[in-house]
Every structure is written in C-alpha cells, then in structure tokens.
Amino acid sequence: MPIYDLVIIGAGWAGFNAALRAKELGLKVCLIDSHQIGGTCLNYGCIPTKTLIACAKIFSLVKRSSNFGIELDNLRINLAAIQEKKDKVIRQLSVGMQSKLSGIDFINSLARIISAKEVKVVGRVINAKFILIATGSYPIGLPELKFDSSTSLTINPEQGRRIDRKKIISSDEALVLLEIPQSLLVIGAGVIGCEFASLFSILGAQVTIAEKMPLLLPAEDRDVSRKIEVIFKKREIKVVTGADISTFDIENYSKILVCVGRAPNTNGLGLEDLRVKLKNNRIVVDDYLKSSLDNIYAAGDCTGQLMLAHYAAYQGVMAVQNMFSSDRKKADNSVVPACIFTEPQIASVGVKENDTLVCAKRIKVHKFDFRASAMALIIDEAEGFVKIISNQETGQIIGASIIGPLATELIATLALAISCHLTVSEVGAMIFAHPTFSESLRETLNKP
C-alpha cells in the first residue's frame, strides 16, 4: 500500500486548490470526498447562486429597456431554462476542475481519520505523511423552524408537473426550486439571505426579510446596511429588523428560507477520538493552519474563520506550503475582499468606519455617490456610493466599502492598494479610463 505525502479530505475550494499546489510541488496526493468535486462553492453556493442572480439581472435590465428607448412586450420568466443554464455552468466548471486533477488520486468516499497518519475509506486504510481537513460547512437551521425533510417533489395530477412540497428550506433547496414562490419569508439578513431576497424579488416573489439585529448585513458598513434597506423597500421587499421569529405566522408564506449561518462540517471524521482540538465544532488551528496534532492541518470553512471560497483557497495553498516548506508563513486575513451579489452589488475590504470608531483610530472618510458617475448614468444604475477609509496621519488606505454597480470588481483595486500600503495621494494620482466605473475610485479620493 503506497504512502501518500498528503491526504486531503474534502474536494471543495480549499481542498481542490491545496491538491493542485501539492501536485505542483511534485508530491503524491490523494483527494477524498463523498460528494462532487467543487464542494459547496461549485455545487450549492457561489457558482449556482451567481448564475441565477445573473439571469435575474438580465430580466431586470429588460424590464427597464424603455429607459434606453427600447420597447419590449410580453416578458416572462422560464425558470426551467434558468435552472438548466445554472446546471450547464456547473457541469462545464466541474469538467474543467476534474481535468486539473490529472495525476492526483481521487476517491469518492466517506473518510474517517483513525490515527495521525491513517485515513479509513470504504474498503481500505490510506497512509499519509500529512493530512489536510477541508470538509467545509453546512447550512444551520433553527430549533423552532427545522428544515423540512419530507420528500420534496410530488406530481400535480391536474397540471401534470412536479411541485416542490418543502416549505421550510435552506439555501441548498432554494437553488433548485421548480417554481418561483408567490410569497417568500427570508429569515436572516446576512450575505446569503440578502442575495436570495434580492434574487427572488426581481423574479417576482413577494419577499419579506427578517433580521434579529437592528440592521441588514450587520457585519457591513452601517451606511451600506442602511442604503440596501432603502433600496429593498423601494423594490417592495418588506424589511423587518429587530425581528422576533415567533411572531411570524408561517402559514402566510409559500416558502420559508432560513439563512442564519453555516456550521463547520466536522462530524464523523473521528477528531474527538484523536483529541484534535475543537471549539464549537470548528477545528482550532494556529497561524500556520496546523491543528493540535503536528501532521494534521485544516483549511476553509471547517476552521470556522472567514467562510469565503477565495479565502478557503488561500488557506488550502498556505497549509500545503507550511507542511512541506521550510519557509513557513502565517495565514493572513487582514486584506480579504468580501462580495455580496445583491442588486446593486456590495463589496468591502479592510476596516469599516464603524470598526474605526470602536477602536478610536484617527481616520478620514472619503465618499463618492454614483449619481455623479457618467457611466452609472449611462447604464441607468446610479444607486449607491464608494466609501474609502484612510489613516489620517499617514494617508494610507486601510479600508473600503462599495454599494453600487460592479462593486465586486472595483473592490479588487482597493484590496491591492491596502495590501501594498498605498496612500490616498498615490491612488488618487493614478490615471483611470473615462468613462468607467473605476474612475469613481479616483473621484472618491480627490474630493475636497
């Protein structure tokens, strides 16, 4: 039986990118997953949600076509065709990912770690010098609103089509709905909740979004949170903050979408028997992503840190580097862009104004409204703003939040600026093309 240099449990974004890095280093690698390659991101998260959102965006634009002098009639949504578009994107990306795994042994199986250097799969035990756990996360339910587990698909004899009978659903089920719910209650106004509220509102559902905190997107800049609430209300999304779920009558809604967070997926791995340190089911790792056992590392959502696919990929690569290189580096999460694909988009990186107020840092706030952007007016998407935070003493850019068109693309420039310790004057002196959205960054910083 061969001894692998590295066995990776979990083929999501952390495990997949870790496997590719290990392959580049010439290591003998085994990748294990009981589900599809790509994990949550490809199959139940980033890719399918953004595909559906892109389809909804097209529908939204077409509905506003008269603003551009184009008259269209008899618009309708073909949800089955939208779902097929989503599935096609997933299939195409999956094929590409599988081709990259050439030279890496892939085992489609459940896995259990039985010793610090042994992993049990169906029918055999695999030996490894190092083990990387990258098992991701799963949607959290609510005790008072448990996800429906009954058979979801039944046949309507009158119409001869399938009907989804599940009422209380997670984001996983929301991605495969066969029809647009007439009324939808979204519980939880974090990233996932707000994205689905925006999506289904555009597609025609009557949406209510409920959040127990005082603001939507409580982790974002407060001005951004207030702005998206105003925009949601303009679009006839009912917003309830400071919500008490017990006061809602679930019979009033076609579907209840529970989006209250995700939990690390660590059950069944045998970690308790090995005395791998856990905290609230997440694997505790040090700055180098090593667990409490020397040759077992962890990356991605199972560590319970930033649950973002791009950060998981970064952690996976960093973990491999630290296992097999003498030049060990600490994993850094100080400059990680966060993107929310609502309509309009939201993105942030670094510190936020509310963070700096708590820390009593001396800052300067630079702000630019998209209503002053030529390109925003051209495409009729002028809702939102750019907010950039700089250190008042050094002029260095330390944070940014954007709500508006192409926010998820614009944030990359500011992430680079923060990583390179660039100042307001340095970025403000750059030449941005006109007319573009990118020039709004220069406008933000050059405002008197």
Chain CA centroid to CA 387, Å: 22
Q: Which two tokens stand for residue 166?
A: 């599940």
Q: What pTM was estimated for this model as a whole?
A: 0.93
pLDDT of 161 above 70: no
Chain CA centroid to CA 112, Å: 27
Catalytic residues, which ones? Answer: 434
Class of domain 153-260: alpha beta
Q: Which two tokens stand for residue 350?
A: 């670094």
Please report the pLDDT score of residue 73 as a whole number: 84
Sign, CA torsion 264/270/272/274: negative
* Residue limits of CATH 3.30.390.30 in the chain: 344-446
Name 46's Cβ contacts closer than 8 Å, sequence gap at least 6. Answer: 40, 309
Average per-residue pLDDT for the chain: 93
pLDDT of 156 above 50: no
140-146: average pLDDT: 90
72 falls in which pLDDT band (50, 70, 90)? confident
d(CA 256, CA 355): 33
One DSSP character per residue, 124-165 reads: EEEEEEEEEE---EEE--BTTBPPP-S--EEEETTTTEEEE-
- What do you get for the CA distance between the two ends of the chain, in Å? 69
What's the CATH number for 344-446? 3.30.390.30
Class of domain 3-139+264-324: alpha beta
Please report the pLDDT score of residue 148 as a whole number: 87
CA angle 223, 227, 230 (to 5 degrees): 145
160 falls in which pLDDT band (50, 70, 90)? very low
Please report the pLDDT score of residue 360 as a whole number: 64
pLDDT, tens digit, 9 for 90 and up, residues 269-322: 999 999 999 999 999 999 999 999 999 999 999 999 999 999 999 999 999 999
| Nearest by Cα to 403 from 387, 427, 424, 415 | 387
* Residue limits of CATH 3.50.50.60 in the chain: 3-139+264-324, 153-260
Tokens 């098992």 — which residue? 135
**70 backbone dihedrals φ, ψ, rounded to 5°:** -115, 120
